[in-house]
Copies of this chain bind each other. A is one copy, B any other.
Amino acid sequence: MSTTSSAAINRDAPVAIHAQISEGIRSRIASGEWPAHYRLKSEPELAQDLGVSRGTLRRALTTLIQEGLLRQVRGRGTFVTSTTIEPAIAQRLSTLSEDFANQGIVTTTTVLECSLTDPPRPIAALLDVPAGGSVLKLVRLRSTDRGPVALLFNYVRTDLAPGIEGVDFTTASLFGTLEGAYGLKIDAARRTFSAQAAEADVAAQLNLETGSPVQYLQQVTYLADDRPVEYSDVWIHSGRLQVTSLLSRR
C-alpha cells in the first residue's frame, strides 16, 4: 500500500521509532484500511517503505503480535487478525467446542436444560425414532469473555446412549461423550446454514434485540452404520462468531 510511507515516521519525536510504526499499523487496522486477513508486505519491502531497519520493524511487529492484532503464518507471511471468532464448522465435522479449543479460545458452557423429552414430530422423523419416544433434550449456552456466542439445542437418541441425561455437560462435550463414554462412531453430518431473525427467547439468551439477524445452523449427525444419532438447532451471534471455510479448488 502506498499509504505505508516513511512520511509517517518522525525521527525527532520523543516516541521511539518502533512505537511509532506499531501505532501507525494499529490505526490502519482500527480504520479498516487494513482489514482482517490482510497480508502485510514482506519484512524487507515494508522496512524499505518505512525507511527503517528490519530490526526496528520486527520490534514493532512483535509488539502487535503480542497484542493479538497481527499473526504470523510460517511460509505465508504476516496477517491482520480477525476480531471475530472464526470456526470452520461449515467445512469440517468438528464441533464448536473443538474449534474453540483448537484456536485457544476459552469458553464457558451453561446448561439450561438436560432432560428426557418427547421430541417435536419433524425431529422424531429425522432421528428415526417413534412418535412418543423419549430423547435427550440438551440446551446449552456457550460464552466467551465477550459474552454469549452460541445457543445450542441438541436432541440425542437415548436408545443409542442410555443414561446420557445424567452427564454433566457443563464440562463434558456432547460428541466427546457419545464417542468416549458410549463408544459410538460418529461418521457424518448434514449441516445447513441460514440467516434468521432472532425470536424473543433466542435473542434474550444471546443478548440481542428480538428480530436481530442470527446465523442459524441445523444439523443431523449420523453413525457409521447410517443411523441418525443427534439433531441440533444452533443460533450463533454473528457479531462475535463468523463461520469460515478455507477451500481448495482442486
Interface set of A (CB-CB < 8 Å, partner B):
1-3, 32-35, 37-39, 76, 86, 90-93, 121-122, 124-126, 128, 130-132, 186-197, 211-216, 220, 226, 236, 238, 242-250
A32-B122 CB under 8 A given contacts A37-B190, A188-B248: yes
For A92, the closest partner residue in chain B by CB is B247
Whether A249 contacts B1 by the Cβ 8 Å rule is no
9 A-B pairs with CB atoms under 8 Å apart are A2-B132, A37-B126, A37-B190, A186-B249, A190-B244, A192-B242, A193-B244, A193-B245, A194-B238
Residues of B within 8 A of A242 (CB): 192-194
Residues of B within 8 A of A91 (CB): 90-91, 245, 247
Whether A128 contacts B245 by the Cβ 8 Å rule is no
A190-B2 CB under 8 A given contacts A35-B125, A126-B35, A196-B195: no
Residues of B within 8 A of A125 (CB): 1, 33-35, 38
Option from B76, B188, B195, B238 in Cβ contact (under 8 Å) with A247: B188
Residues of B within 8 A of A2 (CB): 130-132
Option from B76, B121, B215, B246 in Cβ contact (under 8 Å) with A194: B215
